[in-house]
């Protein structure tokens, strides 16, 4: 990621909320972090949890690598344990120890790139896990160990 702030445009597909920020990992102030944490809250319960800023670095790095200035569509950010357990009952693709529950994962699209391009860019960073869900047209990124599915 470059040294200066990077503009991030986020749209939450479930709440309809938008968030526009200039993100800089070393200069991110508490009010901005609070806005990010609230925006990426568990939309089902309203529970807010700190989000790993490395996820935001990954979002910026993906955009820079892909020459994108588009808006990220957020499908899921933080998930409470209760939400994760409920989702696990209806889908075998939800991990029991999902990194969503610690604010270390996010499910996204980027409106000016095809999802397969987004996947390839995310994988090229080798910064964490990248899951590709072609049928639902989104990718999962997290700050865990490097792995792909």
pLDDT in tens, the chain (149 residues): 557 789 999 999 999 999 999 998 788 889 999 999 999 999 999 999 999 999 999 999 999 999 999 999 999 999 999 999 998 888 877 888 899 999 999 999 999 999 999 999 999 999 999 999 999 999 999 999 999 99
The domain segmentation of the chain, as residue ranges, is 6-148
Q: In this predicted structure, what is the pLDDT of residue 60?
A: 96
The yes or no reply on domain 6-148 and CATH 3.30.1380.10 is yes
DSSP characters over the chain: --SS-EEEEEEETTT--EEEEEE-TTT--HHHHHHHHHHTS-TTT----PPPHHHHHHHHHHHHHHT---PEEEEE----HHHHHHHHHH-TTS-TT-GGGGT-EEEEEETTS-HHHHHHHHHHHTSSEEEEETTTTEEEEESSSSEE-
């Amino acid at each position: 990621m470059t040294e200066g702030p990077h503009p991030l445009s986020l749209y939450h597909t479930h709440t309809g909320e938008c968030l526009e920020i200039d993100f800089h990992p070393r200069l991110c102030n508490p009010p901005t972090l609070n806005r990010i944490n609230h925006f990426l809250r568990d939309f089902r319960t309203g529970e807010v949890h700190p989000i790993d800023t490395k996820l935001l670095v990954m979002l910026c790095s993906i955009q820079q690598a892909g020459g994108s200035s588009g808006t990220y569509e957020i499908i899921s950010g933080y998930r409470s344990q209760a939400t994760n357990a409920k989702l696990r009952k209806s889908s075998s693709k939800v991990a029991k120890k999902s990194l969503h529950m610690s604010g270390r994962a996010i499910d996204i699209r980027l409106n000016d790139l095809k999802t397969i391009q987004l996947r390839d860019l995310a994988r090229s960073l080798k910064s964490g896990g990248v899951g590709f869900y072609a049928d639902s047209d989104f990718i999962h990124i997290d700050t865990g160990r490097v792995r792909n599915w």
